Structures are given as structure tokens and as C-alpha cells.
Amino acid sequence: QVQLVESGGGLVQAGGSLRLSCAASGRTFSNYGMGWFRQAPGQEREFVARISWSGGRTNYADGVKGRFTISRDNAKNMVYLQMNSLKPEDTAVYYCNFLSGAIPLGDYWGQGTQVTVSS
């Protein structure tokens, strides 16, 4: 059974930083790319960043390039999102998921972690 547990969100002022963590289980973690996504109130869930199974390749949404860094620890089944220079428009619930290519795998999503950036 797939489980995704996101943590590390909070309230931060613009320009601040947060590090999100995701504990993933239920699949062989090191076989899958992993992604971070976010959903702001009233909006569709959107792609933020993804990382290949080995960690050797990463991709970012244009709006977070240069500010966010995705990483993973295959020994711990963890994926991380370091977020720097946060902006109010980064306010959203952040989710992680296993990927098939660039697509979230399956219909299951965790509870997410709320990130709120004040101006």
C-alpha cells in the first residue's frame, strides 16, 4: 500500500526558506522518479519539481527555478524540497508522489503540507 507523508511546511515571511520532506513507502523507492506538486486555493494541482530515480536528473517549473532544489535519499526512502527566496505566490499545499515518467503514479496522494508565505 502506497503511503506518502509530507512534512516541513509552515508560515514564513517572503524571502525566507523552508525544507519540505516526504517519506514514501509501498513501492521500491529507488526504482522511481519522484516529484513535488502544489495546489493553491481554487487552483489545479501543478508540477513543481521532479528528480530521477538515481537523483542524477532534476527538472523544475519555471517559477521556482533557481530558488527550489529537489533531492532524495534512497537509503531512507525520502525526497526533499529546499525552498529559498520564498514568495507569496508559493503559498499552497505541497505534495510528493511517485512518478511514471513525468506523470504522478496512481490516484493516491498524501495529506500534503501547508506552506504559507506572508508579504
- Cell numbers 517572503 correspond to 14
Length of the chain equals 119
Mean pLDDT, consecutive 10-residue stretches, the chain (119 aa), reads 97 98 95 97 96 96 98 98 98 97 90 97
- Cell numbers 508522489 correspond to 97
The predicted structure's pLDDT at residue 102: 87
Q: H or E element: which one contains 84?
A: none
- Asked whether 37 and 47 are in contact (CB, 8 A), the reply is yes
Angstrom distance (rounded) from CA 117 to CA 103: 27
The predicted structure's pLDDT at residue 107: 86
- Return all residues near 104 (Cβ < 8 A) that are at least 6 apart: 35, 37, 97, 98
